Structure 1
Amino acid sequence: MKNKSLSDSIAGRIYLHNLLLVLAAVLLTGGVGLYTALSVRRNDLDTVIRETSRTISGMEIVRDALKSGDPGGPFRGRLTDELDLILEKNSQVEIIVVCDTDSVRYYHNRHDEIGHHFTGDDQKEILHGGDPYISEAEGTLGKQRRAFFPVLGDKGEIIGFVMTSILSSSLSRIMWRMTAAYIILVVILFAAGALLAAAFMQSLKRTLLGFQPEELAKKYIERTEVLDAMEEGICAADSEGRIIFLNKTARRIMGLGGSGELEGSNIKDVFPLQRMDNVLKSGRGEYNIREKFGESRVLSTRIPIRNGDEMIGAVTIMRDKTEMVRMAEELTGTKYMLDTMRALQHEFKNKMHVILGFLEMGSPEEAREYILGTTLVSEEAVSAVAKLVPMPDLAALLIGKIMRARELGIRLMVKQDSFFKEKEGGLPSESFITIIGNLVENAMDELNSNTCKVKEIELGLYVDENSTIITCDDTGGGIPEDILIRLYDRSTTTKGKGHGIGFSLIREITDAYEGVIHIDTEPEMGTSIEISLPV
């Protein structure tokens, strides 16, 4: 991606917005703080000069000096010393003036001003009996902020006033120093805010795996479009089982096309039969699991999503095999038909030879009775299988295997206590065909290669709402120990010697559904296999 200016990129705009936000916050808080601090400082100074005036107005030496009527009288020396001491101790008060009712100074911190008239006319209100107040006016030493307090005689009459003040220039210096301190503080805070904003952007970039936000947004849109265009359905969930992504194909497969926004919903609420929670709990993937969603036949793979050692979710990849399964079922049905026809041909030849023998012996009645009393496959066997198994392709497989076994001189029967209740979300017919077809074929291979007198295979099917149990018992020679320990290895084949062909496929299906395989075998006694699945 080409480099963009700071203001053009999303990251730059975020950074600038953060800076402006920090600046606004700092200026606002700094302005309010400065205004408050200046107001407090001014009020503090006003309180100091007011209280100083009040204190001085109550001093006995001040009243005695004013009652004497002479600024240079006997009280001048003592008055000057005491008020000079007050000024020396109180650095915040710069000017003290004591005047009589004619505004003649009895004290001024510039002693040469004693005896002269008070400068300004803001003392009139206090001489006319007004309450103590603070004013701003021009004085001998310049513009001042003044506090006035009356001096009362023995009868409560006004005999003069006290004025204490601070120069406006000094007050301005104090205010400017405070303002400068706040400006420095604002600059420091703004710099700290800028650094924090930069650190936030670096942290954001690390969180986004080094991408700029606009780059990540572009990649997100691109990848979403790519994932939506895929023929495979993709459903991803976080560690809590909440959907974080569902592409269009997954919606179609699950029949959720018009269900609106599903991200954030619990996978179990959206589709209760999804087995994503198994992967989230166990942390183990499930591969090439055959499932049925409504009318869709799906091959699903579920993979945990990890961030290092932490499990953060899981993803299901669904391949819609509905059309392929339909074609496979047609082809499989054709294969079963061909096997059945081949078995029928052999059986038909044998029976024709028997009939021919009767005719050659001149026994047409025996030939007639033989023809009327024989069938190629017992109607009871066909009826029992058709009634027991609701899946047509699985029923066709069993009938074909029964005929094939009869051709080989093997008795294949379904146990009378078998039951089969097909249910939504149960084991798909393809899985049944894989398991049963391999179990029966292996048993027939073993019995066909064995010289045992009794050649029988008993198949048990126990399928209900809660579980699936498949059993296969034969009277063959058993499975050798060296073969048994590596029975599930794809390279292991025991055709003509024992079981094993297709067992790796059986194991994959069993593991995918968290099932159990139990094998009980004894030499020259036979083998009993039980497969239990919690579906």
Structure 2
Amino acid sequence: MRTSKPFFGLQTIMTLLVCGVVALSLVVTDSLISQKVADNTQQNLADKAMTIARIVAHSSLVNEALNGQRAETEIQPFANDIQKITAVEFVVVMDMKGIRKSHPDVTKIGQPFVGGDEGAALQGHEYISNAKGTLGMSLRAFAPIVTPSGKQVGAVAVGISLRNVNQAVAQSRVIIYVGVGFGLLVGIIGALLLARKIKKIMFGLEPKEIAKMLEERSTMLQSVREGILAIDKDSCITLVNAEALRLFNQAGISGDPVGKKVTDCIPYTRMEIVLNTGCAEFDQELNLFGITLVTNVIPLCVNGKNVGAISTFRDKTELKQMAEELTGVRLYAEALRAQAHEFMNKLHVILGMVHMEYYDQLSMYISRIAHQHQSDVGFIARHIKDPVLAGFILGKMSYAREVGAKLVLFEESFLPEPADPEMIHELVTVFGNLVDNALEAVVDSPLKRIDVNFSYEDGVIILEVSDTGPGINHELKRQIFSKGYSTKGPNRGLGLYLVKRSLEKLNGSIEIDSEEGQGTQFKVSLPYKSKDEMV
């Protein structure tokens, strides 16, 4: 169930968030790196200027010219060559009075040095300074000129225009800005792709929709009557609902099993087998410390890989009670339908004889029917004391006559009324299915007869149902009680399976005596408490 769309979707929020984080990190990086790059660039230029100043200061030509060993006019051409080669703003050589001996503007030669920052150099110090001279603001490197004998005869000033320094710093920052811009662009594209991928993984749902679906899923899982247990690929329990916990507690397994290995908490679930094989298992029985569960286990597949398994289960006793109730109702309904059908046939015969005015024959027919009915009812009522089972047997007799067979209740048959009324329900299931099975067996036999005998002695009843059918071979005897096994076609094979289950519940037993071509006899023995014995 979808909820109303938020103003900003998950994809938009994620894109903005990732872009914001990337932009913030890049801005901080720029502020930190740009200043460092600017400082390094300025320092490199200062080092360059100082190196040039030292080279000029140690030049023999400059040293000899200021020492009077050469003409001072040789200094200007040398300084100009150094300036051109190194691409600096100026190379100025001055004597100890601060008088220029070289300058890019030859008119300034012979004039005092301008800037006021040359004093320390004339006192033998090397340093860097920023000052305004005749060529404007510049970064200046000063170095003293000392003769080999140790006498200072002047100083050298190498200048680089601050305009050029700022241009160099700006060029270095441009590279940073390009990197920041490229990083931001990559971050935006990555954010869009990531948001789209996450959106796809979540099937286009928004967080509020996912939260609502999760609440609905949790409510649904907790409200179902089946126990639900899920494990991941490592066989660790990831989900267990309230009904599963109730059944586990009933079996003596307490505590919250989520996060634990399924084999450590609930043995014999076969969930690990299904996880490894990828083959689902349906309607399997699991005996869990005295409680029998009917389980279905299916693998959980994502992109063709098994990532877990889920098991649904229910108490077999509850399922059996429902199945038996449905079976009992079906058997009762069939018996009533047979009686009604037989009664309608007889009414049609009576109506026809009335129309034809065969009154004498009609009287005899009705007397015979009434006598037969009273005889059957009286006989069954005397021998079968429980009215439910007695009526059911009477209905089966009617149904047998309807299909052209004869159901005979032995004269010595006797069954007292049970102390537990639920016992009759189980007997109806056992008797009804055995008789139905016998009626199907004699359908193609020349003699269609089913004999039934009830006997009761010492708290045990014996039920014998014999037919004149074709018999059962030795191989079939071992399979006829299996669920779904039948020689009569698909969707069959439940009757004798239910008989076996009812007998297991009642601690009873069943024997088969059959030979091919000689019919079949089922003999049932089970404990039975009479109501009279309880008084």
1:135 aligns with 2:155: no
1:375-414 equivalent positions in 2, closer than 5 A? none
2:86 aligns with: 90
* Counterpart for residue 75 of structure 2: 79
Does residue 163 (structure 1) correspond to residue 154 (structure 2)? The answer is no
Q: CA contact under 8 A between 2:271 and 2:311: conserved in structure 1?
A: yes
CA distance in structure 2 between the partners assigned to 1:287 and 1:165 by the alignment? 92
**2:334 alignment counterpart:** none
Q: Judging changes above 3 Å, is the alpha-carbon distance between structure 1 residues 333 and 209 closer, same or farther for their aligned structure 2 residues? A: closer
Match of 1:209 among 203, 208, 214: 203
Q: 1:351 to 1:57 in 2, by over 3 A?
A: closer
Which residue identity is paired with 1:243? I
Q: Match of 1:449?
A: 469
Note closer, same or farther for the CA distance 1:226–1:149 as it changes in structure 2 (3 Å cut).
Answer: same
Quote the residue 1:115 is aligned against.
110
Kept in 2: contact 1:235–1:243 (CA 8 A):
yes
* Secondary structure of residue in 2 paired with 1:237: strand
2:187 alignment counterpart: 193
For structure 2, which runs of at least 5 residues remain unmatched after alignment?
332-385, 394-407, 416-425, 439-449, 454-462, 502-513, 521-535
> 1:33 aligns to what SS in structure 2?
helix
Q: Which amino acid in the other structure matches residue 66 of structure 2? A: L
Structure 2 SS opposite 1:252: helix
SS at match of 1:147: strand
In 1, Cα distance between equivalents of 2:173 and 2:127 = 27
Letter in 2 for 1:210: G
Q: CA, structure 1 residues 102+269, in 2 after alignment: closer, same or farther (shift >3 Å)?
A: same
Provide Cα deviations, 1:374-411, integer angstroms capped at 9, x if missing partner.
xx9xxxxxxxxxxxxxxxx99x989x99xx99x9699x
Residues 41 and 155 of structure 1: is their aligned pair in 2 closer, same or farther, counting only changes over 3 Å? same
Alignment CA distance shift 1:210-1:44 (3 Å): same
Work out which of the residue numbers 276, 294, 306 in structure 2 matches 1:311: 306
Q: CA 1:48–1:473 in structure 2 vs 1: closer, same or farther (change >3 Å)?
A: closer
In 2 relative to 1, CA 195–473 (structure 1 residues): closer, same or farther, beyond 3 Å?
closer
Partners of 1:504 and 1:33 in 2: CA distance: 87
Check whether the contact 2:469–2:517 (CA below 8 A) recurs between aligned residues. no
CA distance in 1, matches of 2:68, 2:519: 142
**Contact 1:46–1:134, Cα closer than 8 Å, also in 2:** yes
Cα gap change, 1:257/1:22 in structure 2, threshold over 3 Å: closer, same or farther?
farther
TM alignment of 1:427-438, pairs within 5 A: none
- Structure 1 distance, partners of 2:496, 2:136, is 107
Tell me if 1:349 matches 2:411.
yes
Aligned partner letter, 1:27: V
For 2:179 and 2:413, how far apart are their aligned partners in 1?
111
Distance in 1 between residues matched to 2:96 and 2:473, nearest whole Å: 140
- Compute the displacement of 1:222 (Å): 1.9
Please name the residue that 2:489 is paired with: 491
| Matching residue of 1:13 | 13
Q: Secondary structure in 2 aligned to 1:181?
A: helix
What is the CA-CA distance between 1:29 and the residue it aligns to? 2.5
- State the secondary structure of the residue aligned to 1:160: strand
Is 1:473–1:526's contact at 8 Å kept on the other side of the alignment?
A: no
2:227 and 2:312 in contact (8 A); partners too: yes
| 1:2 aligns to 2:4 (yes or no) | yes
Distance 1:60 1:324, change over 3 A: closer
Could you tell me which runs of 5 or more consecutive residues in structure 1 were left unpaired when the two chains were aligned.
353-375, 377-392, 411-439, 459-470, 480-485, 494-499, 510-520, 528-535
Structure 1 counterpart of 2:261, which letter? N
Contact preservation (8 Å) 2:37, 2:169: no
Distance 1:490 1:526, change over 3 A: closer
2:285 and 2:488 map into 1 onto residues whose CA distance is 20
* Matched-pair contact (CA < 8 Å) for 2:268–2:286: no
Structure 2 match to 1:24: 24
Map of 1:172-183 to 2, 5 A cutoff? 172-183=166-177
Q: What is the SS of the residue equivalent to 1:319? A: strand
Distance 1:504 1:81, change over 3 A: farther
Please give the secondary structure, in 2, of the residue aligned with 1:103.
coil
Share of identical aligned residues, percent?
A: 24
Distance 1:456 1:154, change over 3 A: closer
Aligned residues of 2:98 and 2:113 also touching (Cα < 8 A): yes
Report the CA distance shift for 1:10/1:218 in structure 2 as closer, same or farther (over 3 A): farther
For 2:120 and 2:35, locate their aligned partners in 1 and report how far apart those are by CA, in whole Å: 31
**Counterpart Cα distance in 2 of 1:210 and 1:502:** 48
| Aligned residue number for residue 102 of structure 1 | 97
The answer as to whether partners of 1:489 and 1:504 remain within 8 angstroms in 2 is no
Structure 2 partner of 1:43:
43
Instruction: After TM superposition, give the deviation of residue 258 of structure 1 in Å.
Output: 6.2
SS of aligned partner of 1:105: coil
Deviation at 1:524, TM superposition (A): 7.7
Q: Give 1:264 shift.
A: 3.5
User: How far apart are residue 321 of structure 1 and its match?
Assistant: 4.8
Q: 1:522 to 1:140 in 2, by over 3 A?
A: farther
Aligned partner of 1:82: which letter?
F
Return the letter of the residue paired with 2:469. S
State the alpha-carbon separation in 1 of the partners of residues 242 and 35 from structure 2: 61
* C-alpha contact 2:239 2:258 (8 A) present in aligned 1: yes
Distance 2:515 2:430 in 1: 28
Q: 1:11 offset after TM fit, Å? A: 4.2
Shift of 1:166: 0.9
From the superposition, tell whether residues 258 and 27 of structure 1 become closer, same or farther in structure 2 (CA, over 3 Å): farther
TM-score between the two structures when normalised by the length of structure 2? 0.62
Between the aligned partners of 2:196 and 2:488, the Cα distance in structure 1 is 52
Could you tell me which amino acid in structure 2 is paired with residue 225 of structure 1?
Answer: T
Inter-CA distance 225–526: structure 2 relative to 1 (3 Å threshold): same
Q: Within 1, Cα distance between the matches of 2:133 and 2:496? A: 110
Partner of 1:218: 212
Q: Is the 8 A contact 2:37 2:173 kept in 1?
A: no
Letter of the aligned partner of 2:411 in structure 1? K
**Equivalents in 1 of 2:413, 2:56: separation in Å?**
145
Q: Give the structure-1-normalised TM-score.
A: 0.62
Give the conservation status (yes or no) of the 8 Å contact 2:139–2:162.
Answer: yes
What code does the residue aligned with 2:199 have?
K
Say which SS state the counterpart of residue 162 (structure 1) adopts. strand
Q: Give the alignment of 1:317-332 within 5 angstroms.
A: 317-323=312-318, 325=320
Offset at residue 504 of structure 1 (A):
11
Question: CA RMSD for the aligned pairs?
Answer: 4.6
Q: Aligned partners of 1:47, 1:253: CA distance in 2, in Å?
A: 84
Aligned residue number for residue 278 of structure 1:
273
Distance 2:488 2:302 in 1: 33
